Amino acid sequence: MASAGSVSSLDDFSNDDSWETELEIALLRNADLAEVKSICQLRPVPSRLRRDLWRLCLRIESTSVGMSNFTDIYDLQCQEQLHSECNKAAAEVLSRLSQMDSSETDLVEEPPTAFHLSSVFESVLTHFSQTYSIPFVPGNGWIQLLSTLYIVLRPTDREDLYLYFISVYHRFIASGTKGSLHACNAFRLLLQYHEPELCNFLDSHKLGPEMYAKTWFDSLFANHLSNDALPAMWDIYFLLGEPHFGMLVALILLVNAKDNLMQKEKTIGREVTEETFSLGDSDDDEAGDSESFVLPKSREHRQSNIE
């Protein structure tokens, strides 16, 4: 049993916010990353300090090649869809910025127009796709990554945004056209080792990680977390600097949903349908603070619907 003194010390640690002041001072004097990590101790940071923290963690190299060689030729196979998604994302970003407190946005100038911001997003993603020969696929998470980075970092121009985007992508997302599939294969081995029963259950319904975890890994969960929860999670991601952290998060999500998944087996037999499971502790479906993820239908179920 823990002593009263140890319990008190834990309470003091959880309630003490002096570390925030220490972090703010460290960021102002350009402390190194090791010192900042020791101050944060893997805690989500206040929104007012997030911009400086992320810029420090992502460490843009002075020799990085930006968009100076971009030809402004927009000829991707899915260019029209990219253009449409960038228009939508720009409008959503500006709407979110208008609703945020001024201390969070750190605005020093008038926000850009939706047309200008959409053009910036499309330029960045087009150049990225052309440079690294990675095709844009609707729903692959690039838009959500870019939007979140823009809101937090408030880049000075499209080159600044591009450099931070490629820093996040190359540090934390499996690269290459088949990178995410390799990540899914590795995750299945992790799931099989820690939860063989759950892994076999999903395999029996032809629900491999590429069907539910691929979008988690491709977007760093940007497609599945709320606007408040996502930056806090990325604080931990960037402080750790560990790309495999997402696999541990995914494993926890599945383990927490295991009972619900296995219950579906009892109630509807061998058919697994699309179902939403709470990621929070509350069983109240009306609780607005809980996050959720969606487990897709099995291939057999989708094929039967088509036939």
User: What are the tens digits of pLDDT across the range 54-84?
Assistant: 999 998 876 677 888 899 999 999 999 999 9
Q: Is the pLDDT of residue 3 over 90?
A: no
Beta-bridge partner residues of 139: none
Mean pLDDT of 4-21: 60
181/157 same-domain check: no
Q: Is the pLDDT of residue 270 over 90?
A: no
* Mean pLDDT score across all residues of the chain: 81
Residue 149, in any domain of the structure: yes
Residue 145, in any domain of the structure: yes
Least confident of 138-142, 199-203, 239-243, 296-300: 296-300
Domain at 230, CATH number: 1.10.472.80
Amino acid at 209: P
Amino acid at 5: G
Q: Is the pLDDT of residue 95 over 90?
A: yes
225/140 same-domain check: no
Q: Please write down the HEC assignment for all residues of the chain.
A: CCCHHHHHHHHHHHHCCHHHHHHHHHHHCCCCHHHHHHHHCCCCCCHHHHHHHHHHHHCCCCCCCCCCCCCCCCCCCCHHHHHHHHHHHHHHHHHHHHHCCHHHHCCCCCCCCHHHHHHHHHHHHHHHHHHHCCCCCCCCCHHHHHHHHHHHHCCCCHHHHHHHHHHHHHHHCCCCCCHHHHHHHHHHHHHHHHCHHHHHHHHHCCCCHHHHCHHHHHHCCCCCCCCCHHHHHHHHHHHHCCCCHHHHHHHHHHHHHHHHHHHHHHHHCCCCCCEEEECCCCCCCCCCCCCEEEECCCHHHHHHHHC
Q: How far is CA 51 from CA 55, 89, 100, 121, 170, in A?
A: 6, 20, 15, 19, 20
Q: Is the pLDDT of residue 257 over 70?
A: yes
Least confident of 60-69, 75-84, 197-206, 294-303: 294-303
199/231 same-domain check: yes
What's the CA gap between 68 and 79, in Å, rounded?
21
Q: Is the pLDDT of residue 290 over 90?
A: no
Residue 77, in any domain of the structure: yes
Residue 251, in any domain of the structure: yes
For the stretch 128-170, pLDDT in tens is: 999 999 999 888 889 999 999 999 999 989 999 999 999 999 9
Q: Give the rounded distance of the alpha carbon of 36 from its chain centre.
A: 22
227/261 same-domain check: yes
Domain region containing 240: 174-275
Amino acid at 22: E
Q: What is the pLDDT of residue 103?
A: 54
Q: Is the pLDDT of residue 181 over 70?
A: yes
Residue 218, in any domain of the structure: yes
What's the CA gap between 28 and 155, in Å, rounded?
18
Nearest to 225 by CA among 153, 124, 136, 141: 141
Mean pLDDT of 237-252: 93
What's the CA gap between 86 and 80, in Å, rounded?
10
147/179 same-domain check: no
69/50 same-domain check: no
Tokens of 40: 């944060």
141/210 same-domain check: no
Q: What is the pLDDT of residue 224?
A: 85
Bridge-based pairing of strands 275-278 and 292-295 is antiparallel
pLDDT bracket for residue 267 (50, 70, 90): low
pLDDT bracket for residue 301 (50, 70, 90): very low
Residue 289, in any domain of the structure: no
Q: Is the pLDDT of residue 272 over 60?
A: no
Q: Is the pLDDT of residue 218 over 80?
A: yes
